[in-house]
Amino acid sequence: MRPEGRFKEKCGIAGYPVQEMSGLIFAYLGPAPVPYLPRWEPLEWENAVRDIAITVLPCNWLQCQENSLDPVYVEWLHAYYGMWLQSQRQELLSRALAEQHHMDIGFDVFEHGIIKRRVLKGYTQEDDDWKYGHPILFLNILLVGNQMNSTLQFRVPMDDTHTYHISYYAWQSAPGSEMPRRQERVPYRYVPLKDDQGGYVTNVLFNQDYMAWMTQGEIADRTLEKLGESDKGIILFRKMLQEQMAIAEDGGDPMNVFRSEEAARNVRIGIEQVKFGDKKLFARYFPGEAGYSTDAELVDEVLATWDKVLTEV
């Protein structure tokens, strides 16, 4: 070997700029100049405790994201199927949904994606599920939650047939209250998709979603689909994809590319304050997917700060 040689200057590994935010590390793999990382509101909550759940799904990212534009599936997959499973947690969620059929659904394009809305039986367009709704953030993020907590789901394509799925949970203290104690670090866990017998884990909410996405195959065959009235959100999202790809091909910036630090700072997104008409539905910790947060006790302490608020509302 010749230390004075210049061969080493011809070798190297491609590197990408990375940035840490609230326990997650984001990498930018696009062309220069590097845009600013959007600070979605839940990532910026101050008096909050967080948890991260990770899994690799053997399917294309798009069938995960398109599912988020189908509000009615909640009624069928999580309510009816959840009732059939008879697990303790799903019974609780199913009681909130069992008699609440979808009477109307709606979708509105806004500057960061699409807001989806629903009216359940017994409710009106003045209730939060329609009045505020919750968004998909273009390109590959779903934001769900209420005034107490939120979940950002990132569907990151690894290749055509694998998706790196990150669920980012955050629970914030009630207005005017302080965090009971500070979180030392943001814990993370890997979510199992199958049980010891090789069957899909489906007794937890998001695992039911994973099962539904994976069983469509590695890449869903859309030549076989027949889109109906309840699929208008999917149709709208596909139209948005085509429009944004055309912008990028023409040299422009597609949606959610931020070129100023101010625009990317604490991007506020409205969501329902009361979910499914039940203000206490998520008032205690339960895992949204298989596994359990090592900071579950702290989560419950934070949620307990809402007890008085929920009683007074």
**Which runs of consecutive H residues, i.e. helices, occur in 68-146?**
73, 81-85, 88-97, 128-131
Span 75-104, pLDDT tens digits: 888 877 877 775 544 445 545 555 568 899
Closest listed residue to residue 214, CA positions, set 81, 55, 88, 83: 55
Tokens at 209, concatenated? 């979603």
Three-class SS of residue 62?
A: helix
The rounded distance, in Å, linking the Cα atoms of 258 and 249 is 18
121: confidence class by pLDDT, cuts 50, 70, 90: confident
Residue 82, pLDDT score = 74
> What's the predicted TM-score (pTM) here?
0.90
Percent share of the chain, pLDDT over 70: 90
Q: What is the mean pLDDT of the chain?
A: 89
**Beta-ladder partners of 164:** 56, 156
Three-class SS of residue 274?
A: coil
CATH annotation of 40-312: 3.90.380
Residue 14, pLDDT score = 75
In the predicted model, what is the mean pLDDT of residues 146-167?
96
Three-class SS of residue 81?
A: helix
Residue 81, pLDDT score = 80
Q: Which amino acid is at 103?
A: M
Closest listed residue to residue 304, CA positions, set 290, 281, 287, 284: 284
Helix axes 205-214, 88-97, angle to 10 degrees: 90
Residue 89, pLDDT score = 47
Instruction: Report whether pLDDT(23) > 80.
Output: yes
Residue 118 to residues 124, 189, 233, 236, Cα–Cα distance (Å): 9, 32, 12, 16
The rounded distance, in Å, linking the Cα atoms of 59 and 245 is 22
Span 170-209, pLDDT tens digits: 999 998 898 889 999 999 999 999 999 999 999 888 999 9
Q: Check: CB of residue 268 under 8 Å from CB of residue 45.
A: no
Write down the domain spans for the chain: 40-312
CB-based contacts of 30, cutoff 8 Å, min separation 6: none
Span 253-273, pLDDT tens digits: 999 999 999 999 979 888 877
Residue 307, pLDDT score = 86
Residue 275, pLDDT score = 63
Q: Check: CB of residue 144 under 8 Å from CB of residue 167.
A: no
**Residue appearing with tokens 């394509």:** 157
